[in-house]
Amino acid sequence: MDDDNFKTAVGCFMAVRKLADDSTVQETLYTILEDRDEETLSCLYHNTGCMYHIQANCHNEENPISKKLLHEARTCLLKAVELDPKNSGHHVELGLLYYKHGELSNAEKSAQNGIAVALTETPEFEELGYDAKEQLNLDGNLGRHVQMSGNLQIPAIVLAYYILVVSLNDSGKSSDAKNHLESYETMCIDSRNRHPGNSFALLGYSYLMLNQPDKAKCCFEKSLTMGGCQDLLNENIEICKSLSH
């Protein structure tokens, strides 16, 4: 393991450690100090990047502090991808950052990389999780989902499809976005998916953004039968009904 990489990662982690109220932070640091494999180190960069991103989003985007924090977040997430390119979650988290800040082409590429890795490199799906303090890193739909549900647990590949579809749509390439919906839905019902309810909710948001409220409504109804947040999903269903008229 490159000592410079290791020292830099631990330094970043220590710098933002105070931003987290997670009781496992110290335990994680001790693990890193004892086990310097690249997979674990990449996760340290990933988590540090996420914490920098949260702090960046606490400020106005034009604020110099926000720009500096966002740069650090991007740097850490890129390093996570470099160290462990076979972890789909690293690609997807980077894509989420790109999408959040309007870098649609980069978001599309990162999402495609995340999908490719998930389909070819790992027998199980990587999972990503977001709670109330992390909702600032999400777009409006997903942030609201976390706000009303308390959290979002989702396979990285499903979030990758979400990012890919909305990035293409926002880029004016809705036809290309629609071409991915069949594969997207397949991942929602894949036997390796431990969160199909949340997955169908994301698919529903994607259909809404593509102006297909009837299909979105079906997705939210499926999510409801799978134990999703009733208040949130019923509200989404009513929105779909109003748009269908």
Evaluate if residue 18 carries a pLDDT over 90: no
Structure tokens at 201: 């909710």
**Per-residue confidence (pLDDT) for residue 38, from 0 to 100:** 82
**Between 127 and 123, the higher pLDDT residue:** 127
Here the tokens at position 68 are: 């500096």
Which of 31-35, 38-42, 75-79, 126-130 has the least mean pLDDT?
A: 31-35
**For the chain, what percent of residues have pLDDT higher than 70?**
85
- Burial class, 38, CB count within 10 angstroms (exposed 0-12 / middle 13-18 / buried 19+): middle
Which of 40, 42, 143 is CA-nearest to residue 96? 143
Q: Give kind and range of the element (H or E) at residue 123.
A: none
The SS3 call for residue 154 is strand
Q: Ramachandran region of residue 3, left (φ > 0), alpha (ψ -120 to 50) or beta?
A: alpha
103 secondary structure, DSSP code: -
Span 154-166, average pLDDT: 98
pLDDT at 1: 46
pLDDT of residue 123: 82
Q: Are 52 and 16 in contact (CB under 8 A)?
A: yes
Say which residue, 87 or 18, is predicted with more confidence: 87
Q: What is the pLDDT, as a whole number, of residue 39?
A: 85
Q: What is the mean pLDDT of the chain?
A: 89
**Which residue type sits at 216?**
A
Binned at pLDDT 50, 70 and 90, residue 37 comes out as confident
pLDDT tens by residue, 43-62: 888 998 999 999 999 988 89
b/e 100-115 (16+ beta carbons within 10 angstroms → b): bbebbebbbbbbbbbb
CA distance 241 to 84: 44
pLDDT in tens, 74-122: 999 999 999 999 999 999 999 999 999 999 999 999 999 999 999 998 7
